[in-house]
């Protein structure tokens, strides 16, 4: 039987933090991860470019027989998801589904915030799109009263270049955290609104007061996907279950294998692809 995996897409390695949670929550399913490492980061690219690249990736994953694609990237979710769902999907694959990471995160924030004072850390693209404040306003039933944001343009390059342990990482993380804490002194929830950021969470925690809940998206997205599949048996039925995870990258497969193995804590073997 031809494999029908869940496609997981990110501009680079960040989506691996989501994949890790997905494979834990749905171990029997097959996954196909695609990192557009040749063109990362997306965070500083324009709307049109992020849309074009994301659509290419989604089409590629559909071509690999993925009935469902998770865009495990906030920047792409913010800039491309709606167009893909509303304009492209009906034309290219009306029976397939594409889901993002912002909506599940927003629902979780609304569930856990006590005082409605929320902070979001993200890429320049995610922050300037205002997707979080808009969606939090729309979906939190009035529970979120204020959303402040901080763009952290250096954080994705730090992860992609494996500079996580460096002094530079510490400098930029401290600076951005101090900035957002200054924007609202009463935050009770801080969203890591970029799937790369959990890889920096050890340093982030050093600068965030203990009373503030730091939200990583992996587990949230996994929980919501389990629920989604229970409600959408027509998609669930199409997915194959042999517990196999494959990796694709648009850059060197050897480099991907080395870094991804480090992030996932086990060996992976990727295949290089061209769109
Ligand atoms: N992991 C992507 C996100 O969640 C990073 C985007 C980038 O490539 O800058 O936004």
pLDDT in tens, the chain (275 residues): 799 999 999 999 999 999 999 999 999 999 999 999 999 999 999 999 999 999 999 999 999 999 999 999 999 999 999 999 999 999 999 999 999 999 999 999 999 999 999 999 999 999 999 999 999 999 999 999 999 999 999 999 999 888 999 999 999 999 999 999 999 999 999 999 999 999 999 999 999 999 999 999 999 999 999 999 999 999 999 999 999 999 999 999 999 999 999 889 899 999 999 99
Q: How far apart are the first and last CA of the chain?
A: 25
Q: 183 and 243 share a domain?
A: no
* Residue at which a domain ends, from 189, 217, 245: 217
Options 152, 194, 199, 204, the catalytic residue: 194
| Pocket perturbation via mutation, ligand 1, pick of 8, 9, 11, 46 by most ligand atoms within 8 A of CB | 11
Options 73, 109, 152, 225, the catalytic residue: 73
> For residue 237, what pLDDT is reported?
97
1 located within any domain: no
Q: 86 and 107 share a domain?
A: no
- Closest ligand 1 atom to residue 41 Cα is 8
Q: 112 and 176 share a domain?
A: yes
Provide the residue range defining the domain that includes 53: 6-100+219-272
Judge contact between 40 and 156, C-beta under 8 A: yes
Q: How many domains does the chain have?
A: 2
* Residue at which a domain ends, from 217, 242, 257: 217
What CATH number should be reported for the domain holding residue 48? 3.40.50.1860
* Nearest protein Cα to ligand 1, atom 2: 73
Ligand 1: list residues with CB < 6 Å: 10-12, 14, 40-43, 73-75, 123, 126, 156, 194-196
Verify whether residue 73 is a known catalytic residue. yes
| Pocket perturbation via mutation, ligand 1, pick of 33, 41, 129 by most ligand atoms within 8 A of CB | 41
Q: 178 and 264 share a domain?
A: no
Place of tokens 């992976």: 268
Closest to 275 (Cα-Cα) out of 5, 9, 1: 9
Q: 44 and 85 share a domain?
A: yes
Q: 115 and 52 share a domain?
A: no
Residue 234 parent element (H or E): helix 233-236
- Closest ligand 1 atom to residue 44 Cα is 9
Alpha carbon of 81 to ligand 1 centroid (Å): 14
* Residue at which a domain ends, from 217, 239, 263: 217
Task: Outline where 37-166 has alpha helix (H).
Answer: 47-63, 74-79, 81-83, 89-92, 102-112, 124-129, 131-139, 155-160
């Amino acid at each position: 039987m031809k494999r029908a995996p869940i496609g997981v897409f990110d501009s680079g390695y960040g989506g691996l933090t989501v994949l890790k949670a997905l494979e834990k929550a749905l171990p029997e399913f097959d996954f196909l991860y695609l990192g557009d490492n040749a063109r990362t980061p997306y965070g500083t690219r324009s709307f049109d470019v992020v849309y074009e690249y994301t659509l290419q990736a989604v089409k590629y994953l559909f071509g690999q027989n993925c009935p469902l694609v998770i865009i495990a990237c906030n920047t792409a979710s913010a800039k491309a998801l709606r167009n893909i769902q509303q304009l492209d999907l009906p034309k290219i694959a009306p029976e397939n589904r594409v889901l993002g990471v912002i909506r599940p995160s927003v629902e979780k924030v609304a569930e856990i915030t006590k005082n409605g004072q929320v902070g979001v850390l993200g890429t320049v693209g995610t922050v300037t799109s205002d997707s979080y404040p808009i969606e939090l306003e729309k979906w939190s039933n009035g529970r979120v009263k204020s959303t402040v944001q901080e763009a952290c343009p250096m954080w994705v390059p730090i992860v992609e270049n494996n500079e996580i342990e460096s002094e530079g990482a510490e400098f930029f993380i401290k600076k951005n955290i101090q900035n957002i804490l200054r924007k609202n002194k009463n935050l009770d929830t801080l969203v890591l609104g970029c799937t790369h950021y959990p890889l920096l969470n050890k340093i982030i925690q050093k600068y965030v007061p203990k009373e503030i809940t730091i939200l990583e998206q992996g587990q949230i997205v996994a929980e919501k996907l389990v629920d989604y599949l229970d409600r959408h048996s027509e998609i669930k039925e199409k997915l194959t279950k042999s517990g196999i995870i494959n990796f694709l990258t648009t850059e060197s497969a050897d480099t991907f294998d080395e870094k991804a193995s480090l992030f996932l804590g086990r060996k992976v073997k990727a295949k290089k692809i061209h769109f």
